[in-house]
């Protein structure tokens, strides 16, 4: 009678645990929270540019970029991998139906039998090996969440960089069109002067060549802008067919309103996703080593069987016609061909790799932050110097214009001086754009902690 009660208790308890497991797995699902993503990427930093077009593209990228979505799906994948590992911590139950036809010795007739067996198996995790495997999967989930943050920061940084390069190209194309108009006029003036014998044929040919080259240059600029518009479309999850509808700010309306920090605190490194991931990976590989050591220990299993048998379909299936079994086993592998030793050495090697990567991520973080800050400071100084040169060129051109209005110099001299002004302005456009791009690079290097 005690054996019957023990068998019943085993299966009732196992069924309850199975039911709890199903409910737990149903709730254990990662759902990407966009509001938390906005906070993690410091979305307010992008608002400070006072550019509604750029901010709109940033929001679209967070909501629609496919690389970012893949990073979020990777979290869900690791959640389900954790569920697979956690299943080994719980009992397994199976139910079957076994119809049979049998004939006994000395009897000419045969008879039928149907059996409804219920199987249960549970590995007692006395040493916590299975629990260590589950904890290791928890670490992978944490790493994939950091990778998600890193993916979003990379994507929106690429959006900002691409956007400002497009704005730069808009301005460069406008300037190039003015250069083309001037070179065309220069060639026409040279051609007339050549016909009058005032200018050599060689100078006329050179002017024509310069005009052709200017047209070639603008084709290259337009081609680059088309590629960047296609890239922007992909980054924000839109079709490149809609690229002509992408709005952006005019270059002349760009305002430099962000200060350049003197230095960046080393505490920022601890907020970088790659550095945090390296730390978590160290803990994860440590758990893997612990689990690999526990593989050398014996395993203990509880096995149960309860079967209802009857010669009539679903009749007489009662406790009298049942068979019950409750047992346990302990297994200690003696020889596995060196697999367990190799696995332990493999996990130790992975730990060493994780440690080296942890050290590398720290040094790489310092380098990227210092490089970004250095580029921002020095390129800003370069921009100020170029801007100063441009101011002098504008004054020089104004003097040249005054001379032209007074009839002292020819229009050809005026046009040539204006091309010099355009060339300097193109440098100003590039250097000013570099300032915004360097700000974004520093944002990315600090994981948005500005």
Q: Bigger pLDDT: 143 or 13?
A: 143
Residues 277 and 146: their CA atoms lie apart, in Å, by 6
By CB neighbour count within 10 A (0-12 exposed, 13-18 middle, 19+ buried), where does 53 fall? middle
In this predicted structure, the answer to whether residue 183 has a pLDDT above a threshold of 90 is yes
For 212-222, how does the pLDDT look when each residue is reduced to its tens digit (9 = 90+)? 999 999 999 99
For 82-135, how does the pLDDT look when each residue is reduced to its tens digit (9 = 90+)? 999 999 899 999 988 878 777 778 777 777 677 888 889 999 998 999 999 999
Look-up: residue for tokens 């100020």? 384
CB < 8 Å & 24+ apart, contacts of 251-259: 251/167, 251/168, 251/170, 251/171, 251/429, 252/171, 254/167, 254/432, 254/436, 255/50, 256/432, 256/435, 256/436, 257/48, 257/49, 257/50, 258/48, 258/49, 258/439
Q: Bigger pLDDT: 115 or 409?
A: 409
- The CATH number assigned to the domain with range 48-89+125-297+332-445 reads 1.20.1600.10
User: Which band of pLDDT confidence, cut at 50, 70 and 90, is reported for residue 27?
Assistant: very low
For 273-330, how does the pLDDT look when each residue is reduced to its tens digit (9 = 90+)? 999 999 999 999 999 999 999 999 999 999 988 887 766 555 555 666 778 888 988 8
Average pLDDT (57-71) is 94
Which region among 103-107, 143-147, 262-266, 368-372 has the lowest average model confidence (pLDDT)?
103-107
Phi, psi of 359 (to 5 degrees): -65, -40
98 forms beta bridges with: 115
Provide the pLDDT for residue 21.
41
First to last CA, the chain: 72
Percent of the chain scoring above 90 in pLDDT: 69
Single pTM value for the model: 0.84
Provide the pLDDT for residue 96.
84
Residues 335 and 337: their CA atoms lie apart, in Å, by 6
Domain boundaries, the chain: 48-89+125-297+332-445
Consecutive H or E run containing 124? strand 111-124
Provide the pLDDT for residue 18.
41
Provide the pLDDT for residue 318.
62
Look-up: residue for tokens 């060129």? 393
User: Which band of pLDDT confidence, cut at 50, 70 and 90, is reported for residue 6?
Assistant: very low
Instruction: Answer for the pair 133, 291: CB distance below 8 angstroms, yes or no.
Output: yes
Tokens matching residue 54 = 């750029």
């Amino acid at each position: 009678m005690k054996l019957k009660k023990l068998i019943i208790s085993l299966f009732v308890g196992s069924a309850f645990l199975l039911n709890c497991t199903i409910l737990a797995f149903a709730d254990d699902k990662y759902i990407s929270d966009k509001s938390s993503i906005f906070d993690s990427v410091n979305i307010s930093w992008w608002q400070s540019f006072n550019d509604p077009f750029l901010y709109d593209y940033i929001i679209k990228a967070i909501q629609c970029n496919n690389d970012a979505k893949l990073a979020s799906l990777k979290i869900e994948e690791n959640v389900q991998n954790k569920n697979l590992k956690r299943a080994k911590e719980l009992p397994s139950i199976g139910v079957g139906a076994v119809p049979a036809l049998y004939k006994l010795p000395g009897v000419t007739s045969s008879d039928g039998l149907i059996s409804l067996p219920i199987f249960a198996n549970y590995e007692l995790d006395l040493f916590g090996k299975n629990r260590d495997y589950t904890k290791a999967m928890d670490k992978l989930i944490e790493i994939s969440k950091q990778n998600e943050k890193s993916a979003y920061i990379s994507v929106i940084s690429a959006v900002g960089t691409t956007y400002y390069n497009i704005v730069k190209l808009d301005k460069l194309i406008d300037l190039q069109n003015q250069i083309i108009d001037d070179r065309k006029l220069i060639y026409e003036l040279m051609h007339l002067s050549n016909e009058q014998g005032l200018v050599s044929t060689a100078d006329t040919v050179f002017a024509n060549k310069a005009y052709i080259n200017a047209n070639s240059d603008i084709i290259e600029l337009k081609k680059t802008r088309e590629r960047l518009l296609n890239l922007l479309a992909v980054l924000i999850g839109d079709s490149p067919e809609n690229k002509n509808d992408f709005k952006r700010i005019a270059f002349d309306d760009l305002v430099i309103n962000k200060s350049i920090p003197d230095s960046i605190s080393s505490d920022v490194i601890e907020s970088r996703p790659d550095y945090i991931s390296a730390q978590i990976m160290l803990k994860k590989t440590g758990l893997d080593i612990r689990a690999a050591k526990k593989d050398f220990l014996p395993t203990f299993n509880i096995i149960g069987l309860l079967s209802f048998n009857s010669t009539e379909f679903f009749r007489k299936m009662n406790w009298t016609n049942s068979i019950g079994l409750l047992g346990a086993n302990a297994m200690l592998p003696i020889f596995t061909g060196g697999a367990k030793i190799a696995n332990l050495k493999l996990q130790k090697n992975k730990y060493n790799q994780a440690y080296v990567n942890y050290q590398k991520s720290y040094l790489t973080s310092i380098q990227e932050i210092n490089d970004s800050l250095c580029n921002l400071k020095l390129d800003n100084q370069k921009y100020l110097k170029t801007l100063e040169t441009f101011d002098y060129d504008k004054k020089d051109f104004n003097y040249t214009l005054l001379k032209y209005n007074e009839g002292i110099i020819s229009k050809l001299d005026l046009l040539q001086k204006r091309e010099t002004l355009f060339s300097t302005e193109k440098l100003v456009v590039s250097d000013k754009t570099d300032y915004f791009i360097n700000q974004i690079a520093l944002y990315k290097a600090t994981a948005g902690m500005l």
